[in-house]
Amino acid sequence: MTIEVKNISKSYGASPVLRNIDLKINSGELVSLLGPSGSGKTTLLRIIAGIEEADRGSGAVVFDGEDVSDVDLGRRGIGFVFQSYALFKHLSVFENIAFGLRAKPRRNRPTEAQIKEKVQSLLELIQLSSFAQRYPSQLSGGQRQRVALARALAVEPRVLLLDEPFGALDATVRRELRSWLRHLHDTIHVTTIFVTHDQEEALEVSDRVAVMGNGRIEQFASPQEVYENPANEFVFKFLGNYNVFHGRSGAGALVRPHDIAIFRTSDGDRPDAAQTAVVAHIGFGGPVVKIELESDDKNRVDVELTAQAYHDLKLQRGEKVWFAARRAHSDFPPEYAI
């Protein structure tokens, strides 16, 4: 199902949360809304779901060409997964997943046997078949989140909306669930929107990423596109760490730590623009080694090397080296241009 958000605005009192949002999501796509807290991403998701209403007089939410702005939350055919899981504490895993099926009006409510079959197949999908009779309190965070997903999928929603689905989980479980979600989406192909503030998560999982800041969509493109060709300085800065180099003209150049190369004094292929610096700190981060350089003008320069490159260089703390930017972003249009 395609989802269109047309010129949606939302404000709480006098403070605007969303400003004239336009967004078009293709059928079967997995899109993430990525932004810092306060960027309006969750509000946008809740407006698409029908939990919150857009400002009166602002635009519309359109599902498959049909304006659903005035359709109730329960009739939009959405599956919503909350950051808090919002599992029904007093119901078993089985009953949680069956809730939406049992709530259907009598004439299209499935039979008890059909409900059982459906719940069983969902339990298999989330790999919790043996947990049907457990209560939410007896599950781990990751298991709870999977039950919440199964519960939302049980009613066969036209669109799946996930609000920071992995926000409350620890890093390992997060990574596992992330790739599990990607695989799940490849199997069931339901249009999915998920909100996150985690850049890595958004870039890894999504077909397209909508980077949000200050109530606007700053860029909506594929993960590779937003990372390599950020539309503006905000997107660049939000997507990762960076160094700022001030040239003689006064304009700053922004360089990612992994776009800086380090050379030994003896290296013949060192570019002419290379500057000298001292290795101030070496931080091991597994596959990536984080080097902190102190340049001659006493500025800190962050560099990220692959473990292999680090080993080849055999860097020592306090050593004098040369560094140069392989790639710099400096041609952003000025911010807040009208």
Partner 1 sequence: MAGAITARAPISIGSKRAVATESVLARRVLITITVVFLTIFVLVPLINVFNQAFSKGFEGYWSVFFPPQPPDDATLTFSQKRRLAEGAAQAARTWSSIGLTVAVAAVVLPLNIIFGLAAAWATTKFNFRGRALLTALIDLPFSVSPVVAGLVFVLLLGRNGILGPWATQLVWPDPFSLHWVGFENGVWPLAFGRTHTGVIFTPLAIVLATIFVTFPFVARSLTPLMENQGTDEELAALSLGASGWRTFFKITLPNVKWALLYGVILCLARAFGEFGAVSVVSGHIDVNDTMPLRIEKLWNEYNNQAAFTVASVLAFVAVITLVAKSVVEWKAARDAERTN
CB of 105 to partner 1, least distance (A): 9
Binding to partner 1 (CB under 8 A): which residues in 145-164?
148, 151-152, 154-155
Task: Give the binding range for partner 1 (CB under 8 A) out of 37-45, 54-62, 71-79, 231-239.
Answer: 71-79
Interior CA angle at 164 toward 162 and 165, to 5°? 60
Q: Residues 292, 219: contact at Cβ < 8 Å?
A: no
Residue by residue, DSSP assigns 157-189 as: -SEEEEESTTTTS-HHHHHHHHHHHHHHHHHH-
CB of 78 to partner 1, least distance (A): 6
| E-only strand ranges, the chain | 3-12, 15-25, 30-34, 60-63, 66-67, 78-81, 159-163, 191-196, 208-213, 216-221, 243-246, 252-255, 260-263, 275-285, 288-295, 300-306, 320-325
Written as one letter, the residue type at 195 is V
CB of 151 to partner 1, least distance (A): 7
Task: Give the binding range for partner 1 (CB under 8 A) out of 69-77, 177-185, 198-206, 208-216.
Answer: 69-77
114 binds partner 1 (CB under 8 A): no
CB of 154 to partner 1, least distance (A): 8
Q: Residues 321, 315: contact at Cβ < 8 Å?
A: yes
122 binds partner 1 (CB under 8 A): no
Chosen residue from 23, 47, 49, 293 binding partner 1 by CB under 8 A: 49
Q: What sections of 15-63 are H helices per DSSP?
A: 41-49
75 binds partner 1 (CB under 8 A): yes
Task: Give the binding range for partner 1 (CB under 8 A) out of 72-80, 270-278, 319-327, 330-338.
Answer: 72-80
Chosen residue from 79, 142, 223, 230 binding partner 1 by CB under 8 A: 79
Q: What share of the chain is helix, strand, coil (3-state, %, to 5)?
A: 30, 30, 40
| Complex with partner 1: residue 35 or 79, whichever CB lies closer | 79
100 binds partner 1 (CB under 8 A): yes
Chosen residue from 55, 60, 99, 198 binding partner 1 by CB under 8 A: 99
Q: Residues 64, 1: contact at Cβ < 8 Å?
A: yes
103 binds partner 1 (CB under 8 A): yes
Binding to partner 1 (CB under 8 A): which residues in 258-287?
none
Cα four-point dihedral sign 180, 183, 187, 192: positive
| Complex with partner 1: residue 46 or 256, whichever CB lies closer | 46
Task: Give the binding range for partner 1 (CB under 8 A) out of 14-22, 27-35, 67-75, 275-283.
Answer: 67-75
CB of 41 to partner 1, least distance (A): 17
180 binds partner 1 (CB under 8 A): no
Written as one letter, the residue type at 278 is V
60 binds partner 1 (CB under 8 A): no
Chosen residue from 24, 89, 183, 300 binding partner 1 by CB under 8 A: 89
How is residue 156 annotated by DSSP? -
Produce one character per residue of 127-144: b if its CB has 16 or more CB atoms within 10 Å, e if not. ebeebbeebbeebeebbb
Q: Give the integer Cα–Cα distance in Å for 214 and 235.
A: 12
CB of 200 to partner 1, least distance (A): 26
**φ, ψ for residue 299 (rounded to 5)?**
-95, 150
Could you tell me which residues come within 8 angstroms of residue 42 by beta carbon, excluding any fewer than 6 positions away? 163, 164, 195
CB of 161 to partner 1, least distance (A): 9
Binding site for partner 1 (CB under 8 A): 49, 51, 72-75, 78-80, 82, 84, 86-90, 99-100, 103-104, 135-137, 148, 151-152, 154-155
